[in-house]
Amino acid sequence: MQLRRGCSGVWIALAAAVADRISKALVMQTPVGAPVELLPGVARVRHAANTGVAFSLFSGGGFAIIALTAVLVAGLSAWLLLRPEGQSRMLRVGLWLVVGGGIGNLYARLAYGYVIDFIELTFVRFAVFNVADVAICAGAAVAAVALILDERRKESSHG
């Protein structure tokens, strides 16, 4: 029963990874660096190769980045599958989004040697990113809010 409850969010990770994979496959059909306006003045698609992690930190990290990503994705997945009790649904949803984004970027690193970034905001100076990055950031934000809410519930029930 415990493993079954842990598996209940796997579909979230799979949906995030599939959405990322499909979007990157579409972008791979455009030339690297050639921008395509998506929403004029707001966002455009610009195919970029990122050998680093977020914001191109540790560019050229190669195998170390692949290994670290694989360990983090596997470890978080195992924890979610085997230790679901005591964790709120909101926390699990957020963490499964992080896993899905991690899987999406890990796949790209293994298949191409780099992550395919393509969403570029034009109204602000910001890094080019992808659907997996959105899943990771949104998941981390959801998990953080869940932890704060869970802590407040515990404090109010004890005080």
Q: Is 150 a catalytic residue?
A: no
Helix (H, G, I), strand (E, B) or coil at 47: strand
Q: Are 139 and 96 in contact (CB under 8 A)?
A: yes
Selection from 123, 37, 109, 127 nearest residue 69 by Cα: 109
Selection from 94, 102, 98 nearest residue 148 by Cα: 94
Catalytic residue among 92, 106, 133, 143: 133
Q: Is 20 a catalytic residue?
A: no
Enumerate the β-bridge partners of residue 37.
44
Contacts of 12 (CB under 8 A, 6+ apart): 93, 96, 97, 100
- The helix or strand, by DSSP H or E, that contains position 12, with its residue range, turns out to be helix 10-27
Q: HSE on the CB side for 117, CA within 13 Å?
A: 19
Selection from 117, 102, 99 nearest residue 59 by Cα: 117
Catalytic residue among 23, 50, 98, 117: 117
Q: Which residues belong to the active site?
A: 117, 133
